[in-house]
Structure 1
Amino acid sequence: MYVPGDDTKKINKAVGLDVDFIALDCEDGVAINRKDDARKTIRQFLDELRPKSIKGDLGVRVNSIDTGLCGDDLTSCLSSKNIPDTILLPKVESTEELNWFADKTDSLLKNDQKINLIVYIETALAFVNLTHICQHAVELSNNKRFIAAGLVFGSDDFCASIGASRTEDCSEVSYARQKLVLTAKAFNLQAIDMVYIKYKDLEGLRRQCEQGKRMGFTGKQVIHPSQVPVVQEAFLPNKEQMEWAEGLLKAFEEHQKSGKGAFTYRGSMIDMPTMKQAQNVLELSKLAK
């Protein structure tokens, strides 16, 4: 969930929410003449942060490297008393930007400090270079001070980049969404789906969440507290899915003992790929707990 970095009231409110990830924002959620205020407010919050005062992870979305503001953003939040869990880096289009980020974090972090990195893919050029970006991020993780953790699809900037018009069924971004999921999973990265900007339309949000989950996304960006429970419910396994997965794995074990490979379960032919899907359901539920 994004929280404007220059708004202390909203930051304090967000801390008390049952949200998986709070992103203190220096970028799109902050006016250009308030960037320094956001920096100072986030720094003060990090310096005063009490241990375990936040239920989920805490990140800072810095400005993109090409704005010239990213260096100051990183210097401020990574030299704080309590560094964030994650840095969210917008509008990455090339491996050179990752090199710059790696050098900057190396110079700021101390001792054995490391942070997670979430990369935003938001332009046509970024998608053309997506495989190289992911591979380079993972390789840099081996000897730099960040861990490549995930990709975020920035749908509105992407549509502006290619000149597309937004529609309710999202058909204009279907290829980009699926490519992001496919590439992220190839490099063992989380794939975070686009923002649903009609924050009062919770039913529309639910439909888009279900669509994203079917595509393979592991989470979704939100911009309002009311969206949080809808997204969590949509992406976590429900009771029926849990019962299906548990029953399938039990039946699989029984058939394996009797020397059978493929078998029928609830009217469907089951083999190893389906068994792995059931394992994914249970693993996600375990992680959520």
Structure 2
Amino acid sequence: MSAADANATRSPSPPSRAPRVTRTVLAVPAHRRRLVESAARSAADAVFLDLEDAVPEAEKAQALDAACAALRELDWGGKTVSVRVNAADGPLLNGEIARLGTLDRLDSLILPKAERVAEVARLGQALREVGRARNRGPLELELLIETALGLVSVETLAQADERVRALHLGVGDFAGSIGARSAEIGGSPAGYRQTTCEADGGYLDTPLDLFAYPMMRLLVCARAFGLRAIDGPCGAYRDERLTRGWAARAAAMGFDGKQVIHPSQIEATRDAFMPSADELAFARRVVNAMRDAQTEGKGAVSVDGKMIDYANVRMAERMLALAAHGAL
């Protein structure tokens, strides 16, 4: 099925107040109240309370109670607030939906290890049934793609339910899923490099990016179906250079944001997703120049010595639209 055909059959997306700003998505264990309170006060654009991998099995029930209390009691400001629920094939999800699906302050649920269309569709239907008690709009779904099966199925998963509004790449579990020998969450294995023999007889080792393919596949799928694309975290949260560099990679590719696992990563990650004043000024010149060219019947124009056409204009308009919504 083509993207055009899929969009033709897909139900309309839930109404949105404005494009969500999710440059920085801070993950926090739901059962750690002090950390949750810190997340609510943080400068992150979005927070997700984790009920899954960050919570020991013995504390799952406590974590759900704590998440519900935090959503009712804390001031989250203008943040997007999500909860990462437990896996669709486990025994906890139904209870989590029943408790969380009625809470007004919750914006979305993040489904981990999304792999099967039927599971996503079933979750969407369950939210429709419990969501009538909400005073806000429909609760959104965000899919965490973190296995080989999830990645090869990502196009069908993106269309599984009208509530699906974002795709996240789970870099740690994905690396494990394919058997990669990674020592750092979000980083490429030291041995993943291309060795070449140079003309002078010497050898050159070129590091390769393990995540170039999964990132691009997820991003292209998100753009095809009008979803947000969120990159996984940099596990080296104490390393500002890695944090900033890996965020800059995702931003340059076109991702909407990146997960962070510590508040110290928020500023560097946010800055990587913010175009500079020069970039915004150039975007305005592009839009204005093309507007003038249109009045003269031209389809392309030169700006600062560069040939500009409508593709450039669309990129410039997206950047300026985010700025208009206070995202930059």
TM-score w.r.t. structure 2 length? 0.80
Amino acid across the alignment from 1:185: R
1:89 aligned residue (93, 102, 111):
111
Q: Is 1:108 aligned to residue 133 of structure 2? A: no
Partner of 1:219: 257
Q: Secondary structure at the match of 1:67?
A: coil
Q: Secondary structure at the match of 1:117?
A: strand
Moved more, 152-161 or 97-106: 97-106
Q: Secondary structure at the match of 1:172?
A: coil
- 8 Å CA contact 1:59–1:88 kept in 2: the answer is yes
- Displacement of 1:129 after TM fit? 1.3
Q: Is 1:231 aligned to residue 255 of structure 2? A: no
Measured in 2, the distance between the counterparts of 1:41 and 1:135 equals 32
Higher relative contact order (CA closer than 8 Å, sequence separation 6+): 2
Q: Secondary structure at the match of 2:113?
A: coil
- Displacement of 1:259 after TM fit? 2.5
- 8 Å CA contact 1:94–1:133 kept in 2: the answer is yes
Q: Which has the higher helix share?
A: 1
Measured in 2, the distance between the counterparts of 1:170 and 1:32 equals 37
- 8 Å CA contact 2:109–2:142 kept in 1: the answer is yes
- 8 Å CA contact 1:19–1:55 kept in 2: the answer is no
Q: Secondary structure at the match of 1:87?
A: strand
Measured in 2, the distance between the counterparts of 1:182 and 1:39 equals 34
- 8 Å CA contact 2:117–2:156 kept in 1: the answer is yes
- Displacement of 1:218 after TM fit? 0.8
> 1:58-77 residue pairs with structure 2 within 5 A?
58-77=81-100
1:10 aligned residue (35, 38, 42):
35
- Displacement of 1:253 after TM fit? 1.7
Q: Secondary structure at the match of 1:183?
A: helix
Aligned residues: 278
Q: Secondary structure at the match of 1:250?
A: helix
Moved more, 252-261 or 114-123: 252-261
Measured in 1, the distance between the counterparts of 2:300 and 2:105 equals 50
Structure 1, unpaired ranges of 5+: 142-146
Amino acid across the alignment from 1:130: V
Moved more, 71-80 or 120-129: 71-80
Measured in 1, the distance between the counterparts of 2:298 and 2:96 equals 58
Measured in 1, the distance between the counterparts of 2:215 and 2:246 equals 12
2:307 aligned residue (247, 256, 269):
269
Identity among equivalent pairs (%): 30
- 8 Å CA contact 2:114–2:145 kept in 1: the answer is yes
Structure 2, unpaired ranges of 5+: 1-25, 183-187, 190-206
CA deviations over 1:25-78 (Å, ceiling 9, x no partner): 10111112111110111122223345xx42311111111112222122222222
- 8 Å CA contact 1:181–1:216 kept in 2: the answer is yes
- Displacement of 1:274 after TM fit? 1.0
- 8 Å CA contact 2:81–2:105 kept in 1: the answer is no
Aligned CA distance change for structure 1 residues 98 and 170 (closer, same or farther; 3 Å):
farther
Q: Secondary structure at the match of 1:171?
A: coil
Q: Is 1:280 aligned to residue 305 of structure 2? A: no
TM-score w.r.t. structure 1 length? 0.91
Amino acid across the alignment from 2:270: Q
Q: Secondary structure at the match of 1:197?
A: coil
Measured in 1, the distance between the counterparts of 2:110 and 2:261 equals 15
> 1:14-53 residue pairs with structure 2 within 5 A?
14-49=39-74, 53=76
Measured in 1, the distance between the counterparts of 2:102 and 2:133 equals 13
Report the RMSD for the aligned CA atoms in angstroms. 1.7
> 1:158-237 residue pairs with structure 2 within 5 A?
158-166=174-182, 167=188, 171-237=209-275
Measured in 2, the distance between the counterparts of 1:229 and 1:47 equals 27
Q: Is 1:156 aligned to residue 172 of structure 2? A: yes
Partner of 1:242: 280
Measured in 1, the distance between the counterparts of 2:40 and 2:293 equals 48
